[in-house]
Structure 1
Amino acid sequence: MDHFQIAVAVGSLRRDSFNQQLAHALEKLAPSNFSFKHLPIGELPLYNQDDDGNQSEPVLRMKNDIAASQGLLFITPEYNRSIPGVLKNAIDHASRPYGHSAWKGKPAGVIGISVGAIGTALAQQHLRNILAYLDVPTLGQPEAFVQAKEGLFDKDGQIGEASRKFLQGWVDSYVDWVKQHQIDPIPSAS
C-alpha cells in the first residue's frame, strides 16, 4: 500500500484543546504517505440503541470515514480518571449495530496530553480495554503519557526540541504498527 489514511478521534471539543494541538503536531511527524482525517465526534447525537437500525447521517459519515481508513489514532484527555463521554459516545456509535463495528481490525495508536504529571495514563488504559473488546489491534509500546508544560510545543505549534525525539519515536512505531496490520477494507456503512 502506498498511501495510508488515518481516522483521528480527539476526545476533546475544547477550542484551545491541548489534545487537538498534539494531534496536529504529531501529524507533522508522520511520513508524507500518511494523511489524517479528523472524525467530527462533537456532531454525533447521544448513543441510543433504539437508533441502531436507522443511524443518523453524522454517524454514517463517521463510520464511512473509519471504513475508508487504514488506521486509527485516538488522542484523549483524561476526565475524572477515564475517557471523555464524547469519545465513548463516538466509539459506541461506530461499534453498532452489534456485529457491524467500523472499528474492527483497524490498527490503532493511543496517546494523550494533560497538565497532570501522569498525563492521560488512566484514560489511555480505559480506552485500551474498550478497544481490546472491539478487536482493535492497539500499539502497546512505546506508551506516551504526555504532560502539557512549557516548551512541549514551539511557537509554530510543532513539537518542541526537548520532546521531539521521544514523540518522533512514538510516531515511527505507530507508522510501523499500521503498516504491519493492514487488512482488506470494510465496506462503507451507507
Structure 2
Amino acid sequence: MAKLYFYYSSMNAGKSTTLLQSSFNYRERGMATMLWTAAIDDRYDAGHITSRIGLEAQAHVFDPDTDLRTAILEQHGNAPIACVLIDEAQFLTADQVLQLARICDESDIPVLCYGLRTDFRGALFEGSAHLLGLADSLSEIKAVCDCGRKATMNLRVDSAGRAVRDGAQTQIGGNDSYIALCRRHFMARLREG
C-alpha cells in the first residue's frame, strides 16, 4: 500500500534538495515521477523546483484551485507514475491534502510532500497542519541555528535584520527575509527592541 509522507523543517534544511534527489533515484531506475511546486513561490523560474545548492527540475504548479487528484490521475493514465513529489507543501489546502491521501489509498501511488511546518509566528500552515494529521509517515529534516542547536523556527526579518512580528502569513523570500533559529533564539529575537 502506498503511503503519504510529510518531510518538514524550518527554512534552509535542504527540503528541495532532498526532493530532487528522491526524484532522481526513481528516474535512475526507469520509474516516472511527477513533481509539483506552489505557484505562489516566485523566487526562481515558475514551474521549477530549485535548491539553494543549484539543483533544479521542471515541475507542475499548484494553487488553491488546482485539483491535484484529477491532474495526477490524468498523467498516470497516459504513462504510469511511480511517485508524486510536492515541494512547498505548506501551501496545499486541506482539500488538496485529502486528494493526495486518496491518490495513495485508491491508486497506490506514493506521495512525498516537503514543506515548512510553521510560519514566522510559530503557527501551522494549513497544508502542514493537515499533513501532520493525515500523513502515514512524518520526518523532520534538520536545520541548524546559529548556536548549533536544531533550528525549528522561521524568523522573518526586515531589510535591517530586525524581527518582524506582524503581517501576512505568507511572504515569499529566502535568506534576505528569513532566518532559521532554535526556539530559544527565535523567542529572544522576538523580544528584542
Q: TM-score per shorter chain, which class?
A: 0.3 to 0.5
* TM-score normalised over the length of structure 2: 0.42
* TM-score normalised over the length of structure 1: 0.43
